[in-house]
Amino acid sequence: MGDTVDLAIGVLVSGRGSNLQSLIDACEARRCPARVRVVVSDKPDAFALERARRHGIEAIFVDPKGSGSREAYDSLLAGVLLERGIGLVCLAGFMRLVTPTLIRAFPGRIMNIHPALLPAFPGLHVQRKALEHGARFSGATVHFVDEGVDTGPIIIQVVVPVLPGDTEESLSARILEQEHRIYPEAVRLFAKGGLRIEGRRVIVAGAAAAAGVLLNPVPEG
Ligand code: GRF
């Protein structure tokens, strides 16, 4: 008793899970005072599930077919996560829009990583859209999830240049490298109790911010 208990994270995935891997690695290396407790996928063959199993993490496929509605599916997800005492839900390449059912079960406790500088380029295929738009810079954003599409309060952003000759693949790879830095950092700040949502803004408390590597969130004081 009296020991500090690690924050239990539940990660929702649909695909290859490289961001999941960055979270697992940060927790295992103790760069983040948290542990990935469960990984849940809406796709049975998501490689992310395999990544979880390799680290001895419970990996569950929850079939969206048959659940009846998006809300019913999210209520299944909420059940799985609540049963396991999850304190933070991380969306990591989860290809479904979450409904208020899940958001209300975890108020201010769901994060997402997005491969663009929000509010520019929300939604899908955003690296291609940045190229088509002729943007000189794009980036990555970690944000809290609200009921809109990629609209929640921003925690950390990182800017990534668009280079001459970039393809969707090359730009995606450059952005992904940065995603793997900022997602564990956002989770670390949260786990240290250093994040507070005030309206649209995320305030980072002093102690947690002081040890941070890169901080676009608003430091306190
Ligand atoms: C990442 O680009 C993430 O920003 C977006 O989906 C992709 C997931 O990649 N939401 P991975 O499955 O984490 O490798």
pLDDT in tens, the chain (221 residues): 445 679 999 999 999 999 999 999 999 999 999 999 999 999 999 999 999 999 999 999 999 998 999 999 999 999 999 999 999 999 999 999 999 999 999 999 999 999 999 999 999 999 999 999 999 999 999 999 999 999 999 999 999 999 999 999 999 999 999 999 999 999 999 999 999 999 999 999 876 766 554 545 455 55
Active site residue 114: yes
Output the residue whose Cα is nearest ligand 1's atom 2: 115
Question: Taking a C-beta distance cutoff of 8 angstroms, is the pair 221, 162 a contact?
Answer: no
Cα 1 to averaged position of ligand 1 atoms, centre (Å): 38
Q: Ligand 1 atom closest to Cα of 13?
A: 12
Cα 80 to averaged position of ligand 1 atoms, centre (Å): 22
To test the pocket of ligand 1, the residue of 19, 91, 125 to mutate (highest count of ligand atoms within 8 Å of its CB) is 19
With 0.85 as the threshold, say if the pTM is over it.
yes
Protein residues with CB under 6 Å of any ligand 1 atom: 15-19, 92-93, 113-115, 176, 179
User: According to the 3-state scheme, what is the secondary structure of the chain?
Assistant: CCCCCCEEEEEEECCCCHHHHHHHHHHHCCCCCEEEEEEEECCCCCHHHHHHHHCCCEEEECCCCCCCCHHHHHHHHHHHHHHCCCCEEEECCCCCCCCHHHHHHCCCCEEEEECCCCCCCCCCCHHHHHHHHCCCEEEEEEEECCCCCCCCCEEEEEEEECCCCCCHHHHHHHHHHHHHHHHHHHHHHHHCCCEEEECCEEEECHHHHHCCCCCCCEECC
